[in-house]
Structure 1
Amino acid sequence: MPFLIVALLIGLVVSITFAVTLGSVEIQPSTVWKIALSHLPLVHPWIEADWSKGEQTIIWEIRFPRILLGAVVGAGLSVVGVAIQSLVRNSLADPYILGVSSGASTGATLVILFGAFSMYGQYALSFGAFTGSLVSILLVFALSRIGGQNSTVRLLMAGIAISAILSAITSLIIFSAPNEHGIRSVLFWMSGSLAGGKWEYLTIPTLIVAICLIVLLAQYRSLNALLLGEEAAGTLGINTVQFRKQLLVITALLTGVIVSISGAIGFVGLMMPHIVRVIVGSDHRRVLPVSALFGAIFLIWADVIARLAFAPEELPIGIITALCGGPFFIWLMLRSSYSFGGSGR
């Protein structure tokens, strides 16, 4: 396990380095880290500034914050995928598939086009997305449990229904908006993009992802017990009702913050946890950090493809993740078992 973590950390650094170098302007990997290290007060005097002003702007102001944002968003989506799959005890669960991202998009669209939640100032977009994601996950979870315990089919049907309703509401909001430029921005943002990555946008997502990851790691025994079922977890001393409420808030918070900064990026939270469980097993003490690192690396390279595939035009990153995640989801559905407890089909 320590070897795997170290290998993934090295892979993350290598991915960041080469992702920054790739683009219309060719840049050497050594230049990337010289410029990055030159911004550290203790290291700055020892770095010889042998790069151009253009390279400084491209690396530090444009590419570096975008790549780091991709790493944070990828890690966050993977962590929220682990949380929501544990919450519903099903490996098919994902914020995008279950409509949680649609709820976050609805809340964020209200903020962008109509200035909703303006009383929260610069945090209005995050608050709007969080509110939308929390409402949607509560609706999906409640709807899937009507008439008894939630099953995979009921859960997916509830997610599809709520997602369709919220998507329709979002479309209605966009149709009603008077600002044509704002509409174009929202439509591109809804497909997922890291184009708006700036240093000032990194602080809140990074803190939220780190805090939620630490909280979930501290509760890894409860997450493991939850996979056995509510009754089994209760016999192990877990207050399942309270713990599920915590997971609901964490899931909504992570999804809301991530969607507010990058738009709706699907399937990362589905693919990464499932792949990781095949490699390291179901113990959340391993699954959580490895999923975060896998997700960070995956989204960095997905963004590279989105930037370069049709350069100088840029694809929404959600298209790339959907092209990877769609076939993966179909394969997962066709497997003989896709629920943790064995009774979710």
Structure 2
Amino acid sequence: PSRRGVGAAQRLFLRASNPVDMAGFLFIPLFLASIVIRIVMSSAVISPVENTSRSRPAFLLARFGVLPRLLIICSALLILLFATMTFAAATGSTHIPYGDVADSLLQYIGLNRDVDTTSSTYRIVTIVRLPGLMVAALVGAALACAGATMQGLFRNPLADPGVIGVSAGASLGVVLAITQTAMLDELWRINSSLLWRVPIAAFVGAMLSACVVYLLSLQRGRTNLAALLLAGIALNSVLGAITSVLLLRSADFSAMRSVLSWLVGSLEGRGWDYFHAVKWPILFSAALIMLYTRDLNLMVIGEESAQSLGVNVPRVRLILLALSSLTTASAVSIAGPIGFVGLIVPHMLRLIIGPDHRVLLPASLIGGAAFLVFADAIARSVIAPEQLPVGIVTALLGGPFFLFLLWRNRRRIAVF
């Protein structure tokens, strides 16, 4: 078993074929070690769980320390992620037995050497389906992490990159970058000139949208829930109208069709090029967000209390807003504005495991990946062999859930 682990690590290291990948490979264990040290050192900090009503699973898990809770929850979610990836890889025009899919995935990461790598099953799983599943997992993790961060930052359960206009701003930036270059085909091939232009445009649009919504909803140093929702709805409408104008001015109808498919959130045809294009911005921004879990816990209790306990609230607020916007923009730049992932996953996990961000944020990363992989499997199987945009599936799941949250929090929503 030890030789297998060493061999797997060596193969993963050799796959880092450029200096950026190698730097990231070395960064990951150092980051994980820093997170563990920070959690242990901050274990005395009061968690929001202490002052909120708990569900039964959250009450049972609260008996453990932070680090055991983190290990238990993340281990369970990793098993769920592997199960959903096995289910998604087996689903398609050609159904593959789940056992063969699991063996192929374990062989790919170096934990199983009994699979014939020249077989058609192994090639279908690892070459045809696995790249798209990895893109779905990366995008889902990014959106869920951004959603959990914004919900803690704005101190309300309805904050979401799609609801408050961040995704719409990123979409406008991407469409603007595309229409200005008029070279959509090069974007789908990840042309080097557009490789940086599109994510940067998405980040600028997302950041501006987040700042506008935040400033409009700020009242006496606190965010008003009704103002947040109304500002997000208004900004979504304005940015959507501008995006429509840009599309109508485009004379390339094939490009317009591709952009419209992208705007509803699509993972069709996404391969390793898309994964490698945004993996490090998402991973680095998520890593930096994890370092502010203690500050988020204190800010949820109250910004005045957090300020008195040494948290620089304006600086932390700006940093987290920028990092969550970068995470959202990176995901939107390759998959389009897939809605409600950042709303459903963090909220459900908060009900199950509690609102402690030291556990909630890592769990949201894994849970968001599993959720979008499962949604992508549904999108590929509903009208097979055609593929339904995954954004439609998440909208059908998230729309009723959002209405339920509105009904549940109706007493908190003030009327102007």
Is the structural similarity TM-score above 0.5?
Answer: yes
**Shift in alpha-carbon separation, 1:242–1:180, aligned structure 2, 3 A:** same
Answer yes or no: is the 8 Å Cα contact 1:61–1:198 preserved in 2. Answer: no
Cα distance in 2, alignment partners of residues 57 and 180 from structure 1: 35
Normalising by structure 1, we get a TM-score of 0.90
CA displacement at 1:62 relative to structure 2: 2.4
Cα distance in 1, alignment partners of residues 319 and 390 from structure 2: 30
Answer yes or no: is the 8 Å Cα contact 2:92–2:385 preserved in 1. Answer: no
Cα distance in 2, alignment partners of residues 115 and 50 from structure 1: 42
Alignment of structure 1 residues 311-322 onto 2, 5 Å: 311-322=384-395
Task: Find out whether 1:250 has 2:319 as its counterpart.
Answer: no
**Shift in alpha-carbon separation, 1:111–1:49, aligned structure 2, 3 A:** same
CA displacement at 1:329 relative to structure 2: 0.9
Task: Find out whether 1:21 has 2:87 as its counterpart.
Answer: no
2:382 counterpart residue number: 309
The answer to which of 140-149 and 176-185 deviates more is 140-149
* Alignment match of 1:169 (pick from 242, 264, 268): 242
2:181 counterpart residue number: 115
1:303 match: secondary structure: helix
Cα distance in 2, alignment partners of residues 109 and 208 from structure 1: 20
Task: Find out whether 1:125 has 2:198 as its counterpart.
Answer: yes
**Shift in alpha-carbon separation, 1:158–1:121, aligned structure 2, 3 A:** same
2:60 counterpart residue number: none
Answer yes or no: is the 8 Å Cα contact 2:264–2:392 preserved in 1. Answer: yes
One-letter identity of the residue aligned with 1:99: G
CA displacement at 1:32 relative to structure 2: 3.4
Task: Find out whether 1:334 has 2:407 as its counterpart.
Answer: yes
Gaps of 5+ in 2: 1-68
Cα distance in 1, alignment partners of residues 282 and 215 from structure 2: 26
One-letter identity of the residue aligned with 2:92: G
1:218 counterpart residue number: 291
Alignment of structure 1 residues 275-314 onto 2, 5 Å: 275-314=348-387
CA displacement at 1:93 relative to structure 2: 0.5
1:6 counterpart residue number: 75
1:51 counterpart residue number: 119
Answer yes or no: is the 8 Å Cα contact 1:102–1:264 preserved in 2. Answer: yes
Alignment of structure 1 residues 61-76 onto 2, 5 Å: 61-76=127-142
Q: CA deviation digits over 1:179-211, x for unaligned, max 9?
A: 111100000000001113211221243323322
Task: Find out whether 1:79 has 2:145 as its counterpart.
Answer: yes
1:202 match: secondary structure: helix
CA displacement at 1:212 relative to structure 2: 2.4
Cα distance in 2, alignment partners of residues 76 and 56 from structure 1: 28
**Shift in alpha-carbon separation, 1:27–1:151, aligned structure 2, 3 A:** same
Cα distance in 1, alignment partners of residues 142 and 78 from structure 2: 16
Identity of aligned residues (%): 39
Task: Find out whether 1:193 has 2:278 as its counterpart.
Answer: no
1:98 counterpart residue number: 164
Answer yes or no: is the 8 Å Cα contact 1:80–1:251 preserved in 2. Answer: yes
Cα distance in 2, alignment partners of residues 81 and 145 from structure 1: 19
CA displacement at 1:167 relative to structure 2: 0.4
Cα distance in 1, alignment partners of residues 196 and 377 from structure 2: 28
Gaps of 5+ in 1: none
**Shift in alpha-carbon separation, 1:338–1:3, aligned structure 2, 3 A:** farther
Task: Find out whether 1:265 has 2:338 as its counterpart.
Answer: yes
One-letter identity of the residue aligned with 2:258: S
2:223 match: secondary structure: coil
Answer yes or no: is the 8 Å Cα contact 2:103–2:112 preserved in 1. Answer: no
Q: CA deviation digits over 1:109-143, x for unaligned, max 9?
A: 11223228999542211111111111111111112
Q: CA deviation digits over 1:218-241, x for unaligned, max 9?
A: 211101011122211110100111
Cα distance in 2, alignment partners of residues 95 and 338 from structure 1: 23
Normalising by structure 2, we get a TM-score of 0.76
1:26 match: secondary structure: coil
1:195 match: secondary structure: coil
One-letter identity of the residue aligned with 2:116: E
2:30 counterpart residue number: none
C-alpha root-mean-square deviation of aligned residues, in Å? 2.6
One-letter identity of the residue aligned with 2:75: V
**Shift in alpha-carbon separation, 1:334–1:66, aligned structure 2, 3 A:** same
**Shift in alpha-carbon separation, 1:33–1:335, aligned structure 2, 3 A:** closer
**Shift in alpha-carbon separation, 1:316–1:129, aligned structure 2, 3 A:** same
* Alignment match of 2:210 (pick from 122, 125, 137): 137
Cα distance in 2, alignment partners of residues 335 and 121 from structure 1: 44
CA displacement at 1:316 relative to structure 2: 1.2
Cα distance in 2, alignment partners of residues 257 and 65 from structure 1: 17
The answer to which of 200-209 and 320-329 deviates more is 200-209
Cα distance in 1, alignment partners of residues 192 and 368 from structure 2: 34
Answer yes or no: is the 8 Å Cα contact 1:66–1:197 preserved in 2. Answer: yes
Cα distance in 2, alignment partners of residues 4 and 45 from structure 1: 29
Answer yes or no: is the 8 Å Cα contact 1:114–1:177 preserved in 2. Answer: no
Cα distance in 2, alignment partners of residues 32 and 315 from structure 1: 23
